[in-house]
Amino acid sequence: MIILLNMEQDDTGRLLEAIKYASEKHAGQLRKGSARIPYINHPIAVTQLLYETGVSETRVLIAGALHDVIEDTNTPPDEIKEFFGSEVLNLILELTDDMSLSHDERKQRQVETAPGISVPAKMIRIADKICNLRDIMYYPIDWDTEKKKLYIEWAEKVVAGCRGLNLALDTVFDETLEKISILLSAEERSK
């Protein structure tokens, strides 16, 4: 049951409401892999990374916290609009994959549309890919090295269409990419 407080509150209160909302929507969901990490950790990590790299606009942080809610739950867009406004909804919709498409089509669509999405959506997209790469690095995931490499290559293509707007995010992406490449090389050598 979702209970929101007065949305006339300050920016911090609105962000906390979004995190609470996301945690209720993603309740029971787990990240991929055997570590059984609660899914909510991912949107929180995305939001935290945005903040740590200088993104302070509340609507962007809220959209970061909610970026997977429509795609991965049965949340209707109108509910997001009602609780968090049309600007937040529009950002989330820019980031939401069309689940009626095949997995490969969705991946290709992200690469193709990345250059044309809004600046805030680009920053959320980069933060999302960084957090996904970090999860691949630090949590046991049931992917072989080749599948991990394919994900990394795809993430690079998506992020290429989003770069140049936030130097800190670009730098963190590059550093994360370097670390995961080193770990995968070590993984390959140990086989």
72 is catalytic: yes
Q: Which of 24, 57, 68, 72 is catalytic?
A: 72
Q: Which of 71, 97, 156, 174 is catalytic?
A: 71
Whether the Cβ atoms of residue 156 and residue 189 lie closer than 8 Å to each other: no
Q: What is the largest CA-CA distance in the chain?
A: 57
144 is catalytic: no
- Extract long-range pairs of 153-158: CB within 8 Å, 24+ residues apart: 154/107, 154/111, 155/129, 157/111, 158/110, 158/111, 158/114, 158/125, 158/129
| Residues tagged active-site | 71-72
